Structure 1
Amino acid sequence: MLDLITHPAEHVVAMKAGGIVTGSELQRAIDAIEAAKRNHPLISLVVEIDDLRLMTLTALLKDVGYGLTQLGDLDRYHRAAVVTDQALIQLITDLEERLFKAVEIRTFPGHEHAAAMAWAAELPPGAHENPEEDGYHGA
């Protein structure tokens, strides 16, 4: 299961994953990320992972494929907060943080969900949540 969850900051795409993630669920998340990128110069992500068991083959291929298309667009991502108590996910997140220096990636334990949501909402100095304030009108 992968569900989008609401976040008060419009530039933040938040989601919760657990159990088995399907390709159609992952596509909804990708669509939400792309919509946020059309409307904001910088976006951030919050991914809450609770008891994630596996991704279907379709979801895995879609995830890898989309991830590869984003390598040239990493400057559009500001922060990624991963909320989990799963040690393996924390290890993977630490590795991603070292590999993708352009994006601030941080792991939060499950009881710090509110702190993760607040951290993801913060924008760098001079950036604004309203894209028109930055002169941004989509790609």
Structure 2
Amino acid sequence: MLEFISHPAAHVVAMKAGGVVTARELQSAIDAIEAAKKEHPRISMVVEFDDMRWMTLTALLKDIGYGLTQLGDLGHYYRAAVITDKEWIKHIAHLEERLFKVVEIRTFPKREHAAAMAWAGELPKGAHEDPEEDGYHGA
């Protein structure tokens, strides 16, 4: 299961994952990320893991494929907050941070949910929510 959760910052795509994530749910997340990228020069993400077991094979392949297509477009991404108490998820997040150095990825325990949401909502120093103020004119 993958569901969207609200976040006060418009440039943040926030979701909660639990159980088994399907390809259809993952596609909804990809669509939300792509829509946010069209509206904002830099986006951040929050993913809260709640007893997630894994993804279906189709979802896993879609996730890997989408990730690979994003390698040339990492400048759109700013931060990713991963909220979890599961050690295996923390290890994957730390590996991804080393692989995708332009994106700041930080893990937070569930008890620090509010801190994770606040951290993800911050923009880079000097950045503004108005894309025109940053000289951004779309992809």
- TM-score category, normalised to shorter length: over 0.9
The match for 1:79 is: 79
The match for 1:8 is: 8
Distance, in Å, in 2 between the alignment partners of 1:124 and 1:91 is 25
Residues 1-139 of structure 1 correspond to what in structure 2 (within 5 A)?
1-139=1-139
Distance, in Å, in 2 between the alignment partners of 1:54 and 1:104 is 23
Distance, in Å, in 2 between the alignment partners of 1:55 and 1:91 is 17
SS of 2:132 mapped into structure 1: helix
TM-score (norm 1): 0.96
* Aligned CA-pair RMSD: 0.9
Q: Which runs of 5+ in 1 are unaligned?
A: none
What amino acid is the match of 1:57? L
Task: Report percent identity of matched pairs.
Answer: 76
What amino acid is the match of 1:12? V
Write the deviation string for residues 22-63 of structure 1: whole angstroms up to 9, x where unpaired: 011000000000000000000000000111111111111110
SS of 1:20 mapped into structure 2: strand
Write the deviation string for residues 101-122 of structure 1: whole angstroms up to 9, x where unpaired: 1010000000111100000011
What amino acid is the match of 2:69? T
SS of 1:137 mapped into structure 2: coil
Distance, in Å, in 2 between the alignment partners of 1:40 and 1:70 is 16
- For the 8 Å contact 1:39–1:137, the answer to whether it is kept is no
SS of 1:133 mapped into structure 2: coil
Cα distance, 1:4 vs. partner?
1.0
Write the deviation string for residues 5-36 of structure 1: whole angstroms up to 9, x where unpaired: 11110100000001010011000000000000
Distance, in Å, in 2 between the alignment partners of 1:134 and 1:75 is 14
